[in-house]
Amino acid sequence: MTEADGQRGTNGEEQDTAEAEATGAAGDKPVKQRKNGLYPAVSDELAAVMKSGWADTERRGLEPIPQARHTAARRAAVSARFPGERIVVPAGNLRRRSNDTDYPFRAATEYAHLTGDQTQDAVLVLEPLAEGGHEATAYLLPRSDRENGEFWLHGQGELWVGRRNSLAEAEQLLGLPCRDVRTVTDVLREATGPVRVVRGHNAGVEAALADKVTAERDAELTVFLSELRLVKDDFEIAELERACASTARGFEDVVKVLDRAEATSERYIEGTFFLRARVEGNDVGYGSICASGPHATTLHWVRNDGPVRSGDLLLLDAGVETRHLYTADVTRTLPVSGRFTPLQRKIYDAVHAAQEAGIAAVKPGAAYRDFHDAAQRVLAEHLVAWGLLEGTVERVLELGLQRRWTLHGTGHMLGIDVHDCAHARIEAYVDCTLEPGMVLTVEPGLYFQADDVTVPEEYRGIGVRIEDDILVTAEGHRNLSAALPRASAEVESWMAALRG
């Protein structure tokens, strides 16, 4: 179905000299209109009918969104860091999938973090005030205009995509002034004084600012906003707890349908987990990795089109993203049959021991690198003990030889993004000291590729990763994903109980 009962696509490519352009959503193509205010042409009678007869649905006295207090504090931190500068944070635009269909919209992390809002095309502007500080304004697409037919004749009209908040409603919900986003590029073009923009989300806004910004100064803004997310507030921690709880239920769903996955493919697992994510949350926080058998040795196996066979391991790395966009990131490696073989158990238990050592190293005051080093040491010890590596463990670690089979870092920060705070400086992240409120994954693994002739044949095609989401607390840490068992025997009894 396209606009005008299938006669035209969203962008109305056909030309009409009588057309006048009205401004569309920021970053979108303009809504084209005929001079009579309607496009495509409709009869005067229909136009009149469509304009009138609609109830007043304006909502008044709305409570602010639950995170409004926190978003205000985050914006205050930005204001303090960039005094006297105009700060521009776009939410991003829809991305075209094909013709007139788009990918699902997901607001830019920086915008969602500073506003709690997820409106496509929106832009947050922090305007410096003469007396110091900033005034924050959210520029949003208001409700569709009924006078010019926009609400039923344009692909982003409310009769096509659903009711939006009015600007007055958005002001109550977000707790900050809201203006029409169709004015934002003009406002920014005319603005004087220093300005920075978060790049990569809204080409129209960036074009309007092109002669006022520099890549270096904009990068400083992105780095600051990334580091602002390193320590989570109470709202964020509650969201991550929620994400982990939903994720645990999604893993249980998968265990219950392993028989059906065996009869079909890894896709059944992906679809099963997605159902939980979509019903309880917003989406999955990243492409689910549903890797059975030798696919488990591919770190980011997201094709998920292979068979699921009894006797193999299933590496499931998946996370529910909550409706406020916080994601879990959890991995369990499960025997499809419900029982590990002796070799699978040996490898699994080694990874579990490494993860235990890594988690134990997560505490306030510890170096961020400690948990990685602790886990890598345990893995190196096992690889040496199994005869896969020669020499002392110290030498192995010094030369990094274990990495042939451990492959990746042992974890990362977690939050709105699965790899959160990715633009933080090395000294603020990898070289930092852990603080209460940080949330990170601990996810060691061992991966023996199917074509790795340096290991005994029976190892080949086995991949194991165990991943949990760990909150740094004042006392030490709390495992937010502890609802899912990790020890091999507990995994087996958990699976048996779920499968009946």
Which residues contribute to the site for Mn ion (CB under 5 A)? 317, 329, 441, 467
List Cβ neighbours of 394 (8 Å cut-off, separation of 6 or more): none
- Report in angstroms how near the CB of residue 441 gets to Mn ion at its nearest: 4
Pairing of strands 283-284, 320-321: antiparallel
Please report which helix (H) or strand (E) contains residue 251, including its range: helix 234-256
Rg (CA), the chain: 26
Cβ(380)–Cβ(389) below 8 Å: yes
- Report in angstroms how near the CB of residue 79 gets to ligand GLY at its nearest: 33
Give the residue with the Cβ less far from Mn ion, 208 or 470: 470
CA dihedral 247, 251, 252, 256 (to 10 degrees): 150
- Which of Mn ion, ligand GLY, none binds 150 (CB below 5-8 Å, type-dependent)? none
Q: Name the residue with tokens 């075209």.
A: 96
Nearest one of 51, 49, 283, 29 to 156, comparing CA atoms: 29
**Binding pattern for the stretch 428-447 against ligand GLY, x by CB under 6 A and - elsewhere:** ---------------x----
Among 236, 329, 381, 468, binds ligand GLY (CB under 6 A): 329
**Following DSSP, what letter does each residue of 297-358 receive, concatenated?**
GSTT-----S---TTSEEEEEE-EEPTTS-B--EEEEEETTSS--HHHHHHHHHHHHHHHHH
Nearest one of 476, 484, 385 to 438, comparing CA atoms: 476
Put residue 61 in one of left, alpha, beta given phi > 0 → left and psi -120 to 50 → alpha: left
Amino acid at site 139: Y
Give the residue with the Cβ less far from Mn ion, 110 or 329: 329
- Which of ligand GLY, Mn ion, none binds 386 (CB below 5-8 Å, type-dependent)? none
- Report in angstroms how near the CB of residue 249 gets to Mn ion at its nearest: 17
- Report in angstroms how near the CB of residue 332 gets to Mn ion at its nearest: 10
Pick out residues in 294-313 that bind ligand GLY (CB under 6 A): none
- Which of Mn ion, ligand GLY, none binds 38 (CB below 5-8 Å, type-dependent)? none
Among 271, 286, 455, 483, binds ligand GLY (CB under 6 A): 286
**Following DSSP, what letter does each residue of 111-156 receive, concatenated?**
HHHHHS---TT-EEEEEEPTTSSEEEEEEE--SPPSSSSHHHHSTT
Cβ(24)–Cβ(32) below 8 Å: no
Tokens at 446, concatenated = 């061992």
Give the residue with the Cβ less far from ligand GLY, 227 or 443: 443
Residue nearest to ligand GLY (CB): 317
Binding flag, residue 468, ligand GLY (CB under 6 A): no
- Report in angstroms how near the CB of residue 283 gets to Mn ion at its nearest: 15
Give the residue with the Cβ less far from ligand GLY, 359 or 418: 418
HSE-up of residue 337 (Cα within 13 Å, Cβ side) = 8
- Report in angstroms how near the CB of residue 358 gets to Mn ion at its nearest: 12
- Report in angstroms how near the CB of residue 330 gets to Mn ion at its nearest: 7
- Which of ligand GLY, Mn ion, none binds 286 (CB below 5-8 Å, type-dependent)? ligand GLY
Give the residue with the Cβ less far from ligand GLY, 286 or 386: 286
Binding flag, residue 169, ligand GLY (CB under 6 A): no
- Report in angstroms how near the CB of residue 431 gets to Mn ion at its nearest: 20
- Report in angstroms how near the CB of residue 115 gets to ligand GLY at its nearest: 26
Among 312, 317, 321, 420, binds ligand GLY (CB under 6 A): 317
Give the residue with the Cβ less far from Mn ion, 401 or 480: 480
- Report in angstroms how near the CB of residue 367 gets to Mn ion at its nearest: 19
Q: How far apart are CA 252 and CA 481, in angstroms?
A: 13
- Report in angstroms how near the CB of residue 99 gets to ligand GLY at its nearest: 32
Number of residues that bind ligand GLY (CB under 6 A): 6
- Which of Mn ion, ligand GLY, none binds 85 (CB below 5-8 Å, type-dependent)? none
Distances (CA, A) of 373 to 161, 257, 297, 329: 50, 37, 22, 21
**How does DSSP classify residue 45?**
H
Give the residue with the Cβ less far from ligand GLY, 148 or 247: 247
Residue 322: count other Cβ atoms within 10 Å of its Cβ. 24
Q: Name the residue with tokens 């499968």.
A: 499
Pick out residues in 399-428 that bind ligand GLY (CB under 6 A): 418
Give the residue with the Cβ less far from ligand GLY, 110 or 329: 329
Binding flag, residue 467, ligand GLY (CB under 6 A): yes
With 0-12 / 13-18 / 19 or more C-beta atoms within 10 angstroms meaning exposed / middle / buried, residue 485 is middle
Residues in contact with ligand GLY by the rule CB under 6 A: 286, 317, 329, 418, 443, 467
